Each structure stands twice: as C-alpha cells, then as structure tokens.
Amino acid sequence: MIRSVVRGFGAALPKRVMTNRDMEDVVDTSDEWIVQRTGIRQRYIAGDDETTSSLGEAAARAALDNAGLTPADIDLIICATSTPDNTFPATAVNIQNRLGMTHGFAFDVQAVCTGFVYAVTTADAYIRGGLAKRVLVIGAETFSRILDWNDRTTCVLFGDGAGAIVLEAGEGAGTTADRGVLTAHLRSDGSHKDKLYVDGGPSSTGTVGKLRMEGREVFKYAVGMITDVIEAAFKATGTTSDDLDWLVPHQANRRIIDGSAKKLNIAPEKVVVTVDLHGNTSAASIPLALATAAADGRIKQGDLVMLEAMGGGFTWGAVLLRW
C-alpha cells in the first residue's frame, strides 16, 4: 500500500528573540509568573521585513535541502496558517511563487493550532489518492500581528515561526512497521468558538481583529480532547503508549503537555518540548518541534512518532507516523 513518508524537515525563526524579561517592559507580568504557568521562557517576534510567507519559504527551503530535493520535485504545497499575508491569495501560493514554482498546486489549511495536523492528514490523502507524489507541508505563523499587546493574559503566550516537512509516496506492507503516516484522527466542535477566537474578519468587521481567549476554559477541555484523538490513533493501529518513541505535541502550555502525557501514561522522556524556546506558534509549533528533535538526533528513522494538537474552533487531532 502507499504510505506518506517523511523525506525531509526544516524550520525558520524570526531574527528577534523576545525573552520574558523583555516582556516585563511591555505589560505587567514577570518571568517567574510566565514560566510557572506556561513553561515559556522566550519567543521569536517577526520584524517588519518578515512575513508568514517569508518564514514559510525559509522553512520550505530548509526541508527541501534536508530531503535533497528542489522545488521542481514538489507537486503540492499545503500551508497551515491563521495569519496569512493576504486575505487572498493563499499564503501557500505566495510561497510557491517565492520558491520559483510555476507547476503543481498550492492551498492553505486553517485549523488554528491544529492546522499542521490537518495539513499532514490532507497531504496524506492526496498522496494515497494518487494526486501527488511529493507534498511540501508547512506550518507558518506571525501571531504577533494579531495580539493585543495590552492583554497580559495572551500576549505573553504566542510567538512567530515556521516549520516544514516533505512527504513522499512510498510503498508499505500495510503494517505498523511501515515508514510514513499510519493513521490520522481529526475533530472539531464549533460550539466552543467564543473560548478562543479573533474578534475580526473581512465578512464580520472588515478588520483583522485581535486574539481573544478564555484561558481557563481552553485548559479545561484541552487534556480530554487530546487524550481522545491519541487513544483513537492507538486503537486504530493496535499500538500503545509503550510502543511510542516520541510524542510531539502542540506547544501551547507546559502544564497541558505534562497533563496529557501523564493521563496517557507516556513517559516524560518521550515528550518533545520546545514551548520554552518558541512559545505558542500555533500551526508552526509541531513542525518546529519536529525539526528541533530530528536535527539534534532524538527522532531517528524508524521511530514511532505521535503528533497531536488542539486549537481554536475547537479543532483537535492526532497523526501517528513512523519516521
């Protein structure tokens, strides 16, 4: 059977690092408060010359270099983002142009923090359906553009960045020993919209708007929703937490990450955590964490890796793959 195999990975971050100490000069907060409640120690903030598409392009080029490929080898680009350069065209099309591609096709996926999981699942469907052989899957965000910098409960949480992987069609025997995407499980529930949203848009206010979040409400639902999709992935493949080599969660909050791992009996040493370095970069957080752990040698070929995320909507999902 056809499997979607990870061929390469890459990441890109803005030039500016903003530490918690720097944040103290912006709002009434403290390094101790931020670290204790979130685990975040710093984040990257895009400059005037850095956009979602420029960061996405840099991550894409890094992933292509890692894979030993060029843009000419790619059939499809999917970009997960909630902070596009323009209302339209899609940021993926902008990235396609920046890469010098005039072939293939490109589109965006918008599922907020779950965006990269949705994008990987979509790419897998295109590959298994024979519509693409190689797909560049990107998560890219400039969340600093939609933050209310007077709201200390949200502005300390988010950062900017991009990550990417190249998925390539490969042959598998149809067992969990196959390399590539083994199973994917997506969910959404729009009744929770008001708990995490942006208060603007072309059709409603004609403005970009700012991020609004009921933090306690999001936290209340997060662990249960994450557990739901991870357990579904285990059930679908006949695997357990003992079989897992790495959990690569959405990097929103250290307490959510730790709580989910504990509930699922996943050992702390199997969890990739980069929230301290990047903050919450929404759809970019999982590919950034993947690139970090693959680059430093933790994630190796043949490892069983679980990706999971929850985001505004609510949306949530998990992908189980063998690296």
For the chain, report the end-to-end CA distance as a whole number of angstroms: 17
Q: 161 with 254, same domain?
A: no
**Edge-to-edge, what's the strand order for the sheet holding 246-249?**
180-188, 315-322, 304-311, 246-249
Q: How far apart are CA 151 and CA 180, in angstroms?
A: 41
Chain centre distance of CA 244: 20
Q: 150 with 261, same domain?
A: no
Q: How far apart are CA 252 and CA 311, in angstroms?
A: 9
Q: 231 with 190, same domain?
A: yes
Q: 236 with 130, same domain?
A: no
Q: 155 with 256, same domain?
A: no
pLDDT of residue 184: 98
Q: Which of 66, 155, 185, 250 is catalytic?
A: 250
In the block, which residue shows the tokens 């020993």? 177
Q: 191 with 119, same domain?
A: no
Q: Is 138 helix (H, G, I), strand (E, B) or coil?
A: strand
Q: Dihedral of CA 203/90/143/313: which sign?
A: positive
Examine the fold and report which residue of 171, 192, 219 is the final residue of a domain before the chain moves on: 171
Q: Which of 20, 66, 113, 278 is catalytic?
A: 113
Q: 202 with 153, same domain?
A: no
DSSP letter at 251 equals -
CB 319 within 8 A of CB 306: yes
φ and ψ at 20, to 5 degrees?
-65, -35
pLDDT of residue 228: 97
CB 136 within 8 A of CB 77: yes
Angstrom CA distances, 255 to 29, 40, 212, 222, 223, stand at 19, 11, 20, 10, 10
Q: 51 with 194, same domain?
A: no
Instruction: Give the count of domains, the chain.
Output: 2
Q: 109 with 13, same domain?
A: yes
Q: Is 252 helix (H, G, I), strand (E, B) or coil?
A: coil
Q: How far apart are CA 216 and CA 157, in angstroms?
A: 14
φ and ψ at 166, to 5 degrees?
-105, 120
User: What residue numbers bound the domain in which 25 lies?
Assistant: 2-171
Chain centre distance of CA 315: 13
Examine the fold and report which residue of 171, 190, 210 is the final residue of a domain before the chain moves on: 171
Q: 145 with 262, same domain?
A: no
Q: 40 with 187, same domain?
A: no
Q: Is 315 helix (H, G, I), strand (E, B) or coil?
A: strand
The pTM of the whole model exceeds 0.85: yes
Q: 73 with 155, same domain?
A: yes
Q: Is 307 helix (H, G, I), strand (E, B) or coil?
A: strand
Give, for all 323 residues of the chain, the pLDDT tens digit.
999 999 999 999 999 999 999 999 999 999 999 999 999 999 999 999 999 999 999 999 999 999 999 999 999 999 999 999 999 999 999 999 999 999 999 999 999 999 999 999 999 999 999 999 999 999 999 999 999 999 999 999 999 999 999 999 999 999 999 999 999 999 999 999 999 999 999 999 999 999 999 999 999 999 999 999 999 999 999 999 999 999 999 999 999 999 999 999 999 999 999 999 999 999 999 999 999 999 999 999 999 999 999 999 999 999 999 99
CB 96 within 8 A of CB 49: no
pLDDT of residue 149: 98
CATH code (residue 61):
3.40.47.10
Examine the fold and report which residue of 146, 171, 196 is the final residue of a domain before the chain moves on: 171
pLDDT of residue 41: 98
Active site residue 280: yes
